[in-house]
């Protein structure tokens, strides 16, 4: 038996189309698939499946906006068209700017919030942010997924993140001395096919974000298209009351609209801010003696 894909009421309480790209190890003449509800002591929930297709992949997996039929043809959802259902007749937002001070998650910016909500469980993410943040402490899935965006003119994604707390409070803590602490990182990802597959932009380790950090990343060229979703996701945690994290001041910046304070990037998995003013001062200290020669 191979590792299963698990669907729970937290992420499938309504009818949801699921597309899974099959791994290479299932390619054989004796492969079977099953849908099973494991026995449990709690209440059994009813469920059902329909429109099952197992076969050759349609173009682009129908971009997550349609389903395959025999003959490798995509049947697109309403509002989408094209051979791979990637073309949309909808106008998509091109940027996001959210500091979560409205008291509720903005439906214009966010499509899914699991295991969290607007709150102050990790305190104020000072000195980079103040007030409420998007706080995660749920017992199951923890993720924040944006609405589909048009990132053709986007330049950077910027945000403030904190994982746990130096004070190790009941509402915000992380065990840095455990061997699997690195598995509790928070990933920043993007999807161009409505969440069928995700690609990592960066991972943020707890040891580097025990204090709030403001970070900035270039939008990958592959993500500078229409219909892109961004996701902050913590793959593993010890459940409610453990390994909490908070997100604030999320902003997708358009080309040519960088704020006064910018950030340098390198190839490290997490990127820490370097104010442009400090860089300017360093260059001035180097160039000024040259001017005296």
User: Do residues 189 and 201 lie in contact, with contact meaning Cβ atoms separated by under 8 Å?
Assistant: yes
Residue that the structure tokens 């997490």 belong to:
270
Split at pLDDT 50, 70, 90, the class of 41 is low
Distance between CA 152 and CA 236 in Å, rounded?
32
Q: What is the mean pLDDT of the segment spanning 82-90?
A: 88
Split at pLDDT 50, 70, 90, the class of 13 is low
Q: What is the mean pLDDT of the segment spanning 61-69?
A: 89
User: Do residues 129 and 99 lie in contact, with contact meaning Cβ atoms separated by under 8 Å?
Assistant: yes
Q: What is the mean pLDDT of the segment spanning 108-116?
A: 93
**Per-residue confidence (pLDDT) for residue 237, from 0 to 100:** 93
12 has pLDDT over 60: no
- Closest C-alpha among 20, 19, 108 to residue 65: 19
**Per-residue confidence (pLDDT) for residue 148, from 0 to 100:** 93
The better pLDDT of the pair 186, 89 is held by: 186
Model pLDDT for residues 204-213, shown as the tens digit of each residue: 999 999 999 9
Put simply, whether the predicted model's pTM sits higher than 0.85 gets the answer no
Counted residue by residue, the chain has a size of: 293
Torsional sign, CA 275, 276, 280, 282: positive
149 has pLDDT over 60: yes
């Amino acid at each position: 038996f191979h590792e299963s894909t698990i669907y729970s009421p937290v992420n499938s309480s309504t009818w949801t189309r699921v597309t899974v790209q099959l791994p290479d190890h299932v390619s054989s003449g004796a492969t079977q698939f099953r849908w099973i509800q494991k026995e449990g002591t709690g209440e059994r929930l009813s469920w059902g499946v329909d429109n099952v297709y197992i076969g050759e992949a349609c173009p682009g997996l129908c971009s997550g906006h349609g389903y395959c039929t025999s003959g490798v043809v995509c049947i697109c959802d309403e509002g989408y068209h094209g051979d791979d259902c990637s073309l949309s007749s909808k106008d998509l937002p091109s940027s996001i700017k959210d500091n979560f001070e409205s008291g509720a998650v903005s439906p214009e910016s966010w499509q899914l919030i699991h295991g969290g909500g607007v709150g102050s469980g990790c305190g104020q993410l000072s000195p980079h942010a103040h007030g409420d943040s998007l706080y995660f402490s749920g017992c199951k899935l923890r993720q924040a997924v944006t609405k589909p965006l048009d990132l053709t003119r986007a330049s950077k994604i910027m945000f403030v993140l904190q994982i746990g707390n130096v004070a190790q409070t009941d509402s915000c803590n992380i065990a840095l001395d455990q061997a699997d602490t690195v598995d509790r990182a928070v990933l920043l990802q993007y999807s161009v096919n409505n969440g069928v597959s995700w690609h990592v932009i960066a991972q943020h380790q707890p040891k580097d974000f025990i204090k709030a950090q403001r970070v900035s990343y270039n939008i990958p060229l592959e993500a500078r298209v229409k219909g892109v979703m961004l996701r902050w996701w913590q793959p593993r945690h010890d459940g409610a009351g453990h390994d909490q994290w908070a997100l604030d001041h999320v902003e997708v910046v358009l080309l040519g609209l960088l704020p006064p304070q910018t950030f340098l990037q390198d190839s490290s998995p997490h990127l820490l801010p370097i104010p442009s003013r400090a860089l300017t001062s360093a260059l001035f200290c180097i160039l000024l003696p040259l001017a005296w020669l």
